[in-house]
Structure 1
Amino acid sequence: MSSLPRRLHAIFTSTSVRATTKTNTDTVKASARSALSKEGRLQKVVEKFKKSSASQRFRASHGIYESTVRRLASAKQFSMIEEILEAQKKYPDISSEGFAIRLISLYGKAGMFDHAHKVFEEMPELNCPRTAKSFNALLAACVNAKKFDKVEELFRGLPQKVSIEVDLVSYNTVINAFCEMGSLDTGLLMLDELEKNGLEPDSVTFNTLLNGFYNNGRFSDGEKIWCMMESKNVIPDIRSYNSRLRGMVHDSRISEAVNLIDEMQNKGIIPDVISYNALIKGFCNDGKLEEAKWWYRELRKNGCTPDWVTYVALIPRLCEEGDFDMVIKLCTEVINHEFIVDTALIQRAVDMLVKEAKIEEAEELVELGKSRKHFQYKLKLPLDK
């Protein structure tokens, strides 16, 4: 009798293992079939794209090229991107520098810098002139592909090799690369270099540096660059002010940031959603929710549309403070507009509503989520205990 339980345990354990193994195998097979199906659909997109490319009108559709490459890059189908872009070289458009620049830029945005470089190198063979414009496109492709360490190498070596003279756009791109790398002081040195070479910095130059220094917590250095910009009669624009606002908030100068909004308005520069988000985040971080809510209302009153940054800043704080009405309002906006936010943000609100016995409101949010693609099957009511 004592061996019977052991035999039964062995039988059921074996059955359970086989069932689990079968389930895992089925899951793997289903996943593989899904991947193959998706790849098959994308290959059809590629074939249709190549066929449509025979039309000059189609080749002039920049948006279609951008969206198709973006879709393929998102699916990591880089060979398919190469397939459609290399096919473009057989058309007479390739002798136009603008068309070659498009291919270089598309490869860069897909993270395929070596292919972008190859297009640039092939341009003479394709009877396509190379100027500072295509060189700048190559530099930009290098930045977009996040090959920041290669940008200076290209900038220093390639122009002389191919007899191209760099311009302000070239310098601005290199400065951007240094800022992206965190080499802010080196980027600032490029400002001196471009002036020594007879070029004048513009708003792009200064905005790139301001964004880099303010975002990296170097507020006092950012202020020096701000003064330098004004001394050179480069007028700050909305991007300049937004960088400074973020710098002030980052440096816990929230009252100064509020005053800067007034300065902007007095100078005819209309704050945008990025401006308001800086203040909303600042007040949320300081635990001053009422002020954050006031600026949210100002954002709305002045015709701005909230974005995901607005909601990510506000919703957790509203949940902490138990502001149910505004939580429901903002969560409904997020779901209706299908903003790309972590579903856990909305789930937290649902959980809070259930905890506070607001079951009906929680159910309405979950049902609304089920009707929207981004949140479908992800939101759920907490299990009853």
Structure 2
Amino acid sequence: MSSLSRLIHRTFATSFSSSTPPQLNPNTVRSLSNDLYKERNLKKLVEKFKKSSESDRFRTKTGVYESTVRRLASAKRFRWIEEILEDQKKYRDISKEGFAVRLISLYGKSGMFDQASKVFDEMPDYKCDRTVKSFNALLGACVNSRKFDKVDGFFRELPETLAVKPDVVSYNTVIKAFCEMGSLDSAVSMVDEMEKNGLEPDLITFNTLLDAFYGDDRFSDGEKIWARMEKKSLVPDIRSYNAKLVGLVSEKKMLEAVELVREFETKGLKPDVFSYNALIKGFCEDGNLEEVKRWYGELEKSECVRDRATYGTLIPFLCEKGDLDWAFELCKDIFERRSLVVNGPVLQLVVDGLAKESKIEEAKKLVQMGKSNNYSRYKLQLPSDK
């Protein structure tokens, strides 16, 4: 940053509005938050958000910030994300590390690393201390923005510059970055470094490694990580078991996978949608329609909500097996759940299959349901219309 830029920032940082901000009661703030949740016009959402931010009490509502930025990011309105977050810098809160960390994190989750890094760099200009908390937020922004190659450099250089000592969160973030890059051995070496520096890896550390090793078809290495975790007397949670379940399915060890899920209850755990999806995927790959139906039935009986992966795995398999009636019912489920989005070609498989089997009325119904449910992005068509 140039000397002129730093001078501008210092001047700006020390000249917050002298007017007294509006003091709104909790009910009013709650009403403002609800209004933002309901606002469908994104431009109006931005305007209302900036206006609401004038309230000190509103600026404590982390959830509203998260929700608003997530909606704008989903719509790829990155310019508007920058508009509302840069607007926050005019408030005195920017001198508090927690508030700056929020901006860094929100930019990071939106994939806007340059803006996240800029907030971090500007913190001294706003007389805002940078501790391990903001250091970790910057590392997290790297990971969320998929700038994995930057993480190790920051981890090695910034602690000395900032006079901070990396903590478990810091190491876990670097481990996550290495795992995402596929540098799994480097990720394990970070665990060794943690212990050498007097820090104990936690369940997050091991779950990150288990996800990576079991998910990368390195089952035996995953088992070594599992043994190392148990040696630390850390109790595996549902995420740990799901990672192992994925590994067993990848190894085609379906009997052991089923046995593992059956053991959940003895561990005080309940299978979640990821557990069921793993078993369904494994039996689909085995071509075992009977077991697929059985575990889908277990999923239906549970309190778990079927997700995109459930349908994305099941429907192509059912089309392959010729069970178009069930595939048709699953498609109707998808359309009835308006917030659920699956890949268009998956639904088109069912339309094509129904038409091929001369079930034209059912095929037409799916095409029509797609249109009536505002799913035009799928562009479902009968084969005769292509």
TM-score, normalising length: structure 2? 0.84
> 2:30 — aligned with what?
none
Q: Letter of the aligned partner of 1:378 in structure 2?
A: K
8 Å contact kept, 1:194–1:200 = yes
Q: Letter of the aligned partner of 1:155 in structure 2?
A: F
What are the Cα deviations for residues 83-124 of structure 1, in whole angstroms up to 9, with x where unaligned?
321221111111222111110001111222222122122222
8 Å contact kept, 2:344–2:378 = no
- 1:138-217 alignment, distance < 5 Å: 138-217=138-217
Q: Give me the whole-angstrom Cα distance separating, in 2, the residues matched to 1:79 and 1:382.
A: 41
Q: Give me the whole-angstrom Cα distance separating, in 1, the residues matched to 2:50 and 2:385.
A: 55
- 1:47-196 alignment, distance < 5 Å: 47-196=47-196
Q: Give me the whole-angstrom Cα distance separating, in 2, the residues matched to 1:110 and 1:313.
A: 28
- 1:279-294 alignment, distance < 5 Å: 279-294=279-294
> 1:360 — aligned with what?
361
The reply to whether residue 381 of structure 1 matches residue 382 of structure 2 is yes
Runs ≥4 residues deviating over 4 A: 41-45, 74-77
8 Å contact kept, 1:159–1:166 = yes
Q: Give me the whole-angstrom Cα distance separating, in 2, the residues matched to 1:43 and 1:159.
A: 40
1:56 match: secondary structure: coil
1:124 match: secondary structure: helix
Q: Give me the whole-angstrom Cα distance separating, in 2, the residues matched to 1:233 and 1:250.
A: 27
What are the Cα deviations for residues 62-92 of structure 1, in whole angstroms up to 9, with x where unaligned?
3332343334444544443333212211111
Cα-Cα RMSD? 2.0
> Structure 1 residue 186: deviation in Å?
0.3
8 Å contact kept, 1:370–1:376 = no
2:127 match: secondary structure: coil
> Structure 1 residue 224: deviation in Å?
0.5
- 1:250-329 alignment, distance < 5 Å: 250-329=250-329
Instruction: Label 1:358 to 1:139 Cα distance change in 2 as closer, same or farther (>3 A).
Output: same
| Structure 2 unmatched ranges of 5 or more | 1-40
Q: Give me the whole-angstrom Cα distance separating, in 2, the residues matched to 1:54 and 1:295.
A: 52
1:116 match: secondary structure: helix
What are the Cα deviations for residues 259-282 of structure 1, in whole angstroms up to 9, with x where unaligned?
111122221111001001001001
Q: Give me the whole-angstrom Cα distance separating, in 1, the residues matched to 2:44 and 2:263.
A: 54
Larger Rg: 1
> Structure 1 residue 54: deviation in Å?
1.2
8 Å contact kept, 2:175–2:188 = yes
> 2:18 — aligned with what?
none
> Structure 1 residue 45: deviation in Å?
4.3
Q: Letter of the aligned partner of 2:375 in structure 1?
A: H
> 1:340 — aligned with what?
341
> Structure 1 residue 310: deviation in Å?
1.0
Q: Letter of the aligned partner of 1:291 in structure 2?
A: E
Instruction: Label 1:79 to 1:329 Cα distance change in 2 as closer, same or farther (>3 A).
Output: closer
What are the Cα deviations for residues 362-383 of structure 1, in whole angstroms up to 9, with x where unaligned?
2332222222122477223332
Q: Give me the whole-angstrom Cα distance separating, in 2, the residues matched to 1:325 and 1:117.
A: 52
8 Å contact kept, 2:311–2:330 = yes
Q: Give me the whole-angstrom Cα distance separating, in 2, the residues matched to 1:202 and 1:88.
A: 35
Aligned length in residues: 345
> 2:350 — aligned with what?
349
Q: Give me the whole-angstrom Cα distance separating, in 2, the residues matched to 1:384 and 1:283.
A: 35
Instruction: Label 1:355 to 1:278 Cα distance change in 2 as closer, same or farther (>3 A).
Output: same
2:124 match: secondary structure: coil
8 Å contact kept, 1:245–1:278 = yes
TM-score, normalising length: structure 1? 0.84
8 Å contact kept, 2:345–2:378 = no
8 Å contact kept, 1:242–1:275 = yes
Q: Which moved more, 1:370-379 or 1:336-345?
A: 370-379
Q: Which moved more, 1:346-355 or 1:228-237?
A: 346-355
> Percent identity, aligned pairs only?
62
2:57 match: secondary structure: helix
1:293 match: secondary structure: helix
> Structure 1 residue 43: deviation in Å?
5.2
8 Å contact kept, 1:335–1:375 = no
> 1:239 — aligned with what?
239
8 Å contact kept, 2:131–2:162 = no
Instruction: Label 1:183 to 1:69 Cα distance change in 2 as closer, same or farther (>3 A).
Output: same
2:226 match: secondary structure: helix
Q: Which moved more, 1:48-57 or 1:305-314?
A: 48-57
Q: Letter of the aligned partner of 2:283 in structure 1?
A: F
